[in-house]
Structure 1
Amino acid sequence: MTTEFTSHHLTEAVVDSIEATADPRLRELLAALTRHLHAFARESRLTQQEWERAIGFLTATGQTCTDTRQEFVLLSDVLGVSMLVETINSDGRAGATESTVLGPFHMTESPVRELGANIDLVGGGEPCVVSGRVLSRNGTPLPGTVVDVWQANDQGFYDVQQPEVQPPGNGRGLFTADAEGRFWFRTCVPSPYPIPTDGPVGDLLRATARHPYRPAHIHFIASAVGHTPVTTHIFVAGSDHLDSDAVFAVKPSLVQDFTTTDDPSLAREFGIPNPFRHARFDLVLNPA
């Protein structure tokens, strides 16, 4: 046994202490986490005061979480970890719709709605229709696909952020694609908005001189039998902050035109005033 104690000996002692972990993947993850965390502390020469402040920050992050707010997801998002994990796990899915972050506001169940329903229960924004098909990667339609949709209102707030203003389920809908794999719904054109900055994540953004804004977008999760679900967005072409999304989630393939459409017959078909904005977006899933 060596008589000299060093930080490297400490790291290996911690790694050795988890060798008996029954789950091999858990053992691998904990060993890697230990080595990288210890290496960070050595490289940065982390002080006791800095580590105490970091623990305080993480404690405050947990204390900020509620049933309708997930500050830890928000922290993961602004550090780019959420997008990194999505990117790592989407490798080899060429031809399918690209995935992106879940975000911190998928905190409540979307209400089941009929195709063509309006998820904007409050009104006041610019009316639009979102339509598309759900397809397998080989182009085969996927009837019965469940399409979960959620978005902020035209002022940039989700229903859970404004319970005194927005009814529960505003901006949300759970749709089932028809026999040809088609889906469509009415809503308002989303707007850019700031992520919540009244908690520890906001303090971090201010300390690093970063803005909190996300470009205008609508969230989707598409789930079909025999296929890998996809969690994604569509981003409004021309929106502010497409090149500086606070959570690093923009992919070029997900930027879509919300085209101004002047077609009275189509407006009547969709049940929306003419003219209106129309976004067309197909969801392509990989076989499981």
Structure 2
Amino acid sequence: MADAEEAAYFEAGRSAEVVINRMGPKTDPRLREIMSVVVRHLHAATREANITSDEWMAAIQFLTDTGHMCSEWRQEFILLSDVLGVSMLVDALNHQRPEGSTENTVLGPFYVSNAPRYAHGDNICLDGKGEPLVVRGRVVDTEGRPIEGATLDVWQANEDGFYDVQQKGIQPDFNLRGIFESDAKGEYWFRSCKPRWYPIPDDGPVGKMLAALDRHPNRAAHLHFIVSAPGYDRVVTHIFTPDCPYLPEDAVFGVKHSLIADFQKVDDPAQAAERGFDGPYWSVEWNFVLAREGALQGADN
């Protein structure tokens, strides 16, 4: 038998190369590069861990169950990527911005597009739960100049630890979601409720995996933001409360030191009345610094 023909047949010792060489000449070069790396690492991991047939079938069943758990509003594969740290790694490799720019973090599985647009000062907490909060700040460029007309798309879980899409018919639609726009000074402000920590959905295969790994499912308390403006790189990020016990062990590795904000308790009746509250409230000031498109720094590794 010719050497080329012999090399086409599967052998455990060179399994990855047999599979890689099966790709045809019309394969997209980038796809060939990615799949070659994936196949080599997958075969190496299988060999290193000496995976049994039962273990491999259990892995197949896990992925099948993960797919079955996905729905219009729940993406279990994103959740899996998040808890394995892959989402944060991909984000870090692709968004190395100039120093001083607001850092990215994970999008999460509960983003919903086309949230209602609100005016400055409006309250996005439609269910009235939680401790009142005022969020205010500016959107500026890396030179500190205000960016007018920047869009701030914000969302968060409610006081019970659920997003609106997790409680259809219980929470009002688009509860704790809204889109705001910065003014000529780059300023924005809105009312909401102080975020609290909450568990990611752990009633599916990802939750079972976390339990098997002796890991908790809790996310550190945060608000989500997508901040964008023409000519600037879009930022997908959070701001975190400094008093949350899960900051150093966030289930999806989303916490960065630069994203931990300073939440202040305001117990002044006059200020509360001015903000439309009838008692103490929390206040946080947070500035977003956007980098110009093309200013992103590529990763070296």
- Shared fold (TM-score, shorter chain, > 0.5): yes
CA offsets, 1:7-44, max 9 Å, x none? 24221121122252442222211111111111111111
Matching residue of 1:72:
77
- Are 1:195 and 2:209 counterparts? no
Question: What do the CA deviations read for 1:169-201 (whole angstroms, capped 9, x no partner)?
Answer: 001001111111111110011111111111001
Name which of 243, 262, 285 aligns with 2:267.
262
Matches within 5 A, 1:15-26: 15-18=20-23, 20-26=25-31
Specify which of 42, 48, 54 is matched with residue 49 of structure 1. Answer: 54
How far off its partner does 1:6 sit? Answer: 3.1
Matched position secondary structure for 1:256 = coil
Deviation for aligned residue 1:107: 3.7
Gaps of 5+ in 1: none
Q: 1:53 to 1:116 in 2, by over 3 A?
A: same
In 2, Cα distance between the equivalents of 1:269 and 1:28? 59
Which residue number in structure 2 is paired with residue 100 of structure 1? 105
Give the deviation of 1:90 after TM superposition. Answer: 2.2
Task: Give distance in 1, aligned partners of 2:274 and 2:138.
Answer: 17
Indicate which of 153, 161, 169 corresponds to 1:156.
161
* Contact kept? 1:67, 1:107, Cα under 8 Å: no
Aligned to 2:95: 90
Q: Which digits, 9 at most, give the CA deviation of each residue in 1:256-281, with x for residues without a partner?
A: 12101234454344333343110111
> Could you tell me the TM-score, scaled by structure 1's length?
0.95
The number of residues matched between the two structures is 288
- 2:134 maps to what in 1? 129
For 1:268 and 1:141, locate their aligned partners in 2 and report how far apart those are by CA, in whole Å.
29
Query: What is the match of residue 37 of structure 1?
Result: 42
Aligned sequence identity (%):
50
Work out the CA distance in 1 between the residues paired with 2:278 and 2:91: 38
Provide the secondary structure at the position in 2 that maps to 1:51.
helix
State the match for 1:172 in structure 2: 177
| Partner SS for 1:260 | strand
SS in 1 for 2:42: helix
SS at match of 1:233: strand
Amino acid at match of 2:229: A
The ranges of structure 1 where at least 4 consecutive aligned residues each deviate by more than 6 angstroms after the TM superposition are none
Q: TM-score with structure 2 length normalisation? A: 0.91
| Contact 1:143 1:177 (8 Å CA) reproduced | yes
